[in-house]
Structure 1
Amino acid sequence: MVTLQLKQLVVPPGHRVLFHDVNWQEFEAILAELGEKRCSRSAYFNGTLEIRVPLPEHEKTKVIIGDLVKALLDECDRNWSKFTY
């Protein structure tokens, strides 16, 4: 068995890496090691861990959509609060 540290893993924007046979405890340990302020997205299902890094264009679109929704809520005089991690 080969053991690598997460800091050795480089996933370029727009790509992903899959890990199979990952148990829940390993997944939680990986999330803890990656930390709260990470640019990658992680997903876990049935023992498979996916780590992906979105392209900058996707992040821009996400921000634009969020700004539009906030403007609509403000215009409709609806209460809302920002959700942060």
Structure 2
Amino acid sequence: AVLEKNEDARNDDMVLYLVLCNACLKDAGAMPLAEIMTQHKYLGLPSFESVSRTRRKLQAQHPELAGSHPVQKMRATGEKAYRRYAKE
């Protein structure tokens, strides 16, 4: 639902994470970042990596939820570079 409604969240995992944290915990955006990152389990917040991985999976299954064209190009370039690195 967040990806459907929020184009900024489609383009930026940090924005997506903030929106999801605020949905899970009122005023999470007003908390210090260090507290969120070190206490996310206790606070009932998802891990950042899980959010990022889920975004990638949803965007692969539903292309209409993909980010803007410049962001898609940047991500594709990064993926190609990572694949080259991983093969070495």
TM-score normalised to structure 2 length:
0.34
TM-score normalised to structure 1 length:
0.35
* Larger of the two Rg values belongs to structure: 1
Q: Which has the higher strand share?
A: 1
